[in-house]
Chains A and B, each alone.
Chain A
Amino acid sequence: MKAETQQVQAMDGGLPLPTKLAERASLGKRIWRNWELYLFVAPALVYFILFHYLPMYGIQIAFKNFMPAKGVMDSPWVGFAHFERFFNSYYFWDLIWNTFGISLYALAVGFPLPIILALAFNEAKNGWFKKSVQTVTYAPHFISVVVMAGMIITFLSPSSGIIVKIMEWVGIDAPQFLTDPRWFKTVYVLSDVWQSAGWGTIIYLAALAGVDPQLHEAAIVDGASRFKRVLHINLPTIVPTITIMLILNMGNILGVGFEKILLLQNSLNMESSDVISTFVYRTGLVDAQYSFSTAVGLFNSVINAILLILVNRIAKRTSETSLW
């Protein structure tokens, strides 16, 4: 994204004047010469307009009482009524707490693990062992969320689940993982870590490949231990990548994995499993309260955007690494 803004700048004022004039003069020619390229992007643009910008235009129903017969344009305005109803509802703080709770829990546990795993991969000698660990830990990434939810339910079943059985053998009383609200967030987060920690290492391994070997040679001469070298050479090298990943994660903090939560939700764990996105789905598409649901969704997007901008600004000020 950084490169993008630089290109914008270059186009606006980076070129010396004569070239700019020359290019201006031939603008029509330059467009005409590549007319086919416009046909190349046309289908993609049509897609983005239809399925992204048209829905954005439809967000106005958050401030209206949408009536299907009248359409988006002609439905009557109601101002912030839907937002007020949402803010004043008894479930508002539950939803906020659950959404933030699950995200921050997932971030605290799920974010450091791929980094540690990548550092470990990087230390291990290239060979069959490392390769098999990588292949195996990457594999769960390709399991669909439906199968994942099915596996969770199967493994944690109080009557036959193997995890419950193993806990029994060890002598621990297994809790009601799926129906006890206190356990929902842990089940969600740990299964997520199982599924995505391995795949998450790839991006860090790519960054680790760029470590300058001379730094290590110099450190060895100075008598630095392996652990010290990982801590003071490898880790600092991937800090920019870590920062970017952290910003992206923070910007998505209210967008927690809606698909899996929807599948694992039941009437008994609802009080800790209902998050904003599942609430939007239920009110919007199950109960058909289109305007209200859109308002809640818009609130969610706005908070997300604010968080993203905020974290990006903090990162820029403290580390000079940022998205834009």
Chain B
Amino acid sequence: MNLANSAIKASRGDRLFMFGVYLFLAVALVVVLYPLIYILSASISSPKLVNAGDMWLWPKGITWDGYTLVFQNSKIWTGYLNTIIYTVLGTALNLAVTLPAAYALSRSDFVGRTLFVIIILVTMFFNGGLVPTYLVVKDLHLINTMGALILPVAVSVWNLIVARTFFQTTIPRELQEAAQIDGCTNLRLFTRVVLPLSFPIIAVMALFYGVAHWNSYLPSLLYLNDAAKYPLQMVLRQILVLQEMTAETTGAAISGDIAKAMNSKAETASLLKYAVIVVSTLPIIAVYPFLQRYFVQGVMIGSVKG
């Protein structure tokens, strides 16, 4: 009797606990989802209603003007095109340098690999810093070229280790040895045997590197001075941060007619703002749910090593 009683009690406590768990997850869902929905809704709502706070969840006074503005803005398109070029070439370079190196470092019969790994790992914990790196990029005559955006980030130590762990744990050693006994050279072994078996890691690497290129703004801030070469993120910085910040910090002192003129300008600006956030982020957010598996896999392979 007593036992049965306590079992029921426990299960009631468990139910309460599970209620708490689901409530917590629901709150997390709402908190994260709300800003995303708001941005989407605001991008197709009348800016008057958005700025007044009348639009707070679903679109109101639907208008596509924001997207028209984005499509008409040549700066955004140049930036978009530049970003696509930098992302494609940068990622190709990343893969071409990272994968062979990771494979070589995964081979236990590779004399000197410990030394190479140490040389590489040291850079994870110590680096030259901003100015010395800038001076090297300058001495290599990379300032204001695409090279400055893709060469200094040609390899990420983290990604290299993830790829190496993958090769070490997933490609059967026996298979490689058998291929070698058959007289297969290392180059053929890598391109014909190892790479075809490594689709998951190639996908993970391409995704990690690709997203990093797409979202990067710091190298272009440091090394580019020609606005025509700016990637999308630098254009976004101009639209979303610099203009807005000046508006926020100087806005208080203006009154009357100027304020009215500024208001209508501000409305156009706010339309453009939401639309450009959607246009710039959508490519990644839209593909991501389909590729989530690979991203998660990448983090997990990395954590095994941790």
Contacts and interface: CB of A to CB of B under 8 A. Distances in A.
B303 A206 contact: yes
Given A44-B101, A55-B127, A194 B31 contact: yes
B175 interface: no
A153 B132 contact: no
A301 B101 CA distance: 28
A140 B215 CA distance: 12
B42 to A, nearest CB: 8
B71 interface: no
A208 to B, nearest CB: 12
Interface in B1-49: 6-7, 10, 13-14, 17-18, 21-22, 24-26, 28-29, 31-33, 35-36, 38-39
B296 A202 contact: yes
Contacts of B116: 41, 45
Contacts of A226: 13-14, 17-18
Contact of A124 (B25, B32, B52, B128): B25
A123 B14 CA distance: 11
A179 B249 contact: yes
Interface of B: 6-7, 10, 13-14, 17-18, 21-22, 24-26, 28-29, 31-33, 35-36, 38-39, 50-53, 56, 96-98, 100-101, 103-105, 107, 109-112, 114, 116-121, 123, 125-137, 140, 151-152, 154-155, 160, 185-187, 190, 211, 214-218, 222, 233, 236-237, 239-241, 244-245, 248-249, 251, 270, 273-274, 277, 280-281, 284-285, 288-289, 292, 295-296, 299-300, 303-306
A157 interface: yes
Contact of A297 (B111, B119, B130, B215): B130
Nearest to A293: B131
B102 to A, nearest CB: 8
A145 interface: yes
Contacts of B160: 44
A40 B101 contact: yes
Given A48-B155, A162-B53, A147 B128 contact: no
A37 B241 contact: no
A58 B110 CA distance: 32
14 contacts: A34-B110, A44-B101, A50-B151, A124-B25, A146-B233, A146-B241, A150-B240, A154-B274, A155-B35, A158-B248, A160-B53, A226-B17, A259-B217, A266-B249
A178 B241 CA distance: 12
Contacts of A78: none
Interface string A276-305: 010011001100001001100110110001
Interface in A105-132: 116-117, 120-121, 123-124, 129-130, 132
B186 to A, nearest CB: 4
B285 A139 contact: yes
A51 B136 contact: yes
B7, B110, B304 — most chain A CB neighbours (10 Å):
B110
Contact of B38 (A1, A7, A162, A266): A162
Smallest CB-CB A-B distances: 9 pairs: A55-B128, A150-B240, A58-B132, A297-B129, A144-B215, A165-B53, A44-B101, A40-B100, A40-B104
A241 to B, nearest CB: 7
A36 B127 contact: no
A308 B248 contact: no
A225 B17 contact: yes
Contacts of A37: 104, 107, 110, 186
Contact of A41 (B25, B100, B123, B288): B100
A11 interface: yes
Contact of B288 (A123, A142, A297): A142
B298 to A, nearest CB: 9
Given A34-B107, A241-B306, A143 B101 contact: no
Contact of A135 (B101, B120, B222, B292): B292
A30 B109 CA distance: 8
B104 A207 contact: no
B121 A1 contact: yes
Contact of A48 (B119, B135, B280, B289): B119
Interface string A194-206: 1001110011001
A25 interface: no
B154 A47 contact: yes
A142 B211 contact: yes
A59 B132 contact: yes
Contacts of A7: 114
A52 interface: yes
Given A34-B109, A154-B273, A263-B237, A194 B32 contact: yes
Contact of B97 (A4, A47, A153, A280): A47
